[in-house]
Structure 1
């Protein structure tokens, strides 16, 4: 099981590193980017994107985990967990890229998505806990 989790951790690291490097290369970090921008009716959609990404990613993750069989060992349910995790990360990564390229003024929202994405690092304890508490 540890080898399969290491593969999942490598995928997670690649996703996190890719989006983090893109943020660093496309928008040179400065304190001006970390300020909260003024929000008007035309920019409110860019605040909805990260919130929708968080909700959609967690919903899809839980929906996919419902396909696990509670009678099986956690390592036998690992392919379903891997699929669910990759779907979750892809939604968060996509939202971060959308913010980066469409509205760089909301860079802080994208950075918060990246921080959340990094916090989702798969560990053996987390995998077992998520599979057992799949509801």
Structure 2
């Protein structure tokens, strides 16, 4: 099981590293606090909220596929898929902000920090999936 968690951590690290690298190469951090929200850019301010809600919804919906008689390996496989879906939604939102509305880079950075906080940890995974060490 530890090897599977390490694999999931590597996947998470790769996703976070890709977004972080893109933000450092393309992002304009000089104007990070200069947010001007007008009628035409209002829709872009909802991207982080929609990504947060959608990613959590998908994560919980996929985890509902776990049945009580499911083996630990199958539980973890479902958890891994759910996590990847969740991170992918957040990654798409980060890239959408970066490329569609670079003025809102602050929102993308906040999503990136949230994504970093979602790093897989045994202390969270085992109780959630009801797996014994």
Structure 1-normalised TM-score? Answer: 0.90
Equivalent of residue 105 in structure 2, options 100, 104, 107: 107
Structure 2: gaps (5+ residues): none
Equivalent of residue 59 in structure 1, options 52, 57, 60: 57
Q: Deviations over 1:58-109 (max 9, x none)?
A: 0000000000122345443000000000000000000000000010100000
CA distance in 2, matches of 1:54, 1:74: 28
> 2:85: which partner in 1?
87
CA RMSD of the aligned region, Å?
A: 1.3
Looking at secondary structure, tell me which structure has more helix per residue. Answer: 2
Q: Say which is worse superposed, 123-132 or 69-78, in terms of deviation.
A: 69-78
Aligned residues: 130
Residue 27, structure 1, aligned to residue 27, structure 2: yes
Query: Does the Cα contact within 8 Å between 1:36 and 1:108 map onto a contact in 2?
Result: no
**Displacement after TM superposition at 1:9 (Å):** 0.2
Residue 45, structure 1, aligned to residue 62, structure 2: no
CA distance in 2, matches of 1:74, 1:47: 40
> 1:6: which partner in 2?
6
**Displacement after TM superposition at 1:36 (Å):** 4.6
**Displacement after TM superposition at 1:39 (Å):** 1.2
Structure 2-normalised TM-score? Answer: 0.92
CA distance in 2, matches of 1:18, 1:65: 26
Structure 1: gaps (5+ residues): none
CA distance in 2, matches of 1:106, 1:130: 34
CA distance in 2, matches of 1:28, 1:40: 20
**Displacement after TM superposition at 1:10 (Å):** 0.2
